[in-house]
Chain A
Amino acid sequence: EIVLTQSPDFQSVTPKEKVTITCRASQSIGSSLHWYQQKPGQSPRLLIKYASQTISGVPSRFSGSGSGTDFTLTINGLEAEDAAAYYCHQSTSFPTFGGGTKVEIK
């Protein structure tokens, strides 16, 4: 099983600030890494696919990078509506998810 380790677990951020969330895979997964946003009481929503590919309807302040074992989700200019949990997910082998990062607005 490929283990995904996200950091940090929790982040409290001021609006307009830049947010960086990392996801490290226990072995190389190429670019088969996807990011989801889950707001309280809602189901997850796909934000970024294959490490850096954008999704229609997702604000441009969300971007992804990385390959192999190290990946990053960046939110450039956090907005209040971005308060949520963020999860990475790999699809190289049987799917696994990272433990999640909760982003709180200060």
Chain B
Amino acid sequence: GLLVESGGGVVQPGRSLTVSCVASEFTFKIYAMHWVRQAPGKGLEWVAAVSYDGTKDYYTESLKGRFTISRDNSKNTLYLQMNSLTVDDTAMYYCARDAALVPGWNSDFDIWGQGTFVTVSS
């Protein structure tokens, strides 16, 4: 399986940005998916997850209401919309596949993308 993120870049504080993750070489629609971020020089932070069919989503408490995870199974694509960005959101954003069998969502992360870097700066 392969995951390729895109959409990162430089964005001003307070603005919005959507990053994407395209899946290939596996059946995307039967797996829950996650976003995990890593600030420069820091550890991994789980951001959000979405169920295999997109009907359920889950967020780390501190980002709830500001970030939205979604997916389009017809395009094998995962999204993360980020609103009201602050400098603390500057990080590498990774998408990761959840290894749980459908309809589960919370297991090990067995495939990771290479990441897309988001810089929030004026």
Instruction: Mark A residues whose CB is within 8 Å of B.
Output: 1, 34, 36, 38, 42-46, 49-50, 55, 85, 87, 89, 91-100
Can you add 14 more A-B contacts, CB < 8 Å, to A38-B44, A49-B99? A1-B61, A36-B44, A42-B114, A43-B94, A44-B94, A45-B112, A85-B43, A87-B43, A87-B44, A91-B107, A91-B108, A97-B36, A97-B46, A100-B44
Contact B108 A43 (CB under 8 A): no
Question: What total of chain B residues lie within 8 Å of the partner, measured CB to CB?
Answer: 22
In contact, A95 and B110 (Cβ under 8 angstroms): no
Q: CB within 8 A of B109: which of A34, A85, A99? A: A34
Q: B44's closest neighbor in chain A, by CB?
A: A97
Q: Which residues from A are CB-within-8-Å of B115?
A: 43
Majority secondary structure of chain A interface residues (helix, strand, loop or mixed): loop
Contact between B112 and A96 (Cβ–Cβ < 8 Å)?
no
CB interface residues, B 71-122, toward A, < 8 Å: 94, 96, 99, 106-110, 112-115
Pair B61/A91 contact, Cβ less than 8 Å: no
> Does B29 have its Cβ within 8 Å of any Cβ on chain A?
no
A95–B112 touching, CB < 8 Å: no
- Identify the closest chain B residue to A91 (Cβ): B106
Q: Which residues of B contact A1 (CB under 8 A)?
A: 61
Contact with B108, one of A38, A50, A92 (Cβ below 8 angstroms): A50
- Beta-carbon contact of A95 and B114 below 8 Å: no
Q: How far is the CA of A36 from the CA of B96 in the complex (A)?
A: 12
Q: Could you jot down 5 A-B contacts, CB within 8 Å?
A: A36-B109, A44-B96, A92-B106, A95-B34, A95-B49
Question: A residues within 8 A CB of B46?
Answer: 94-97
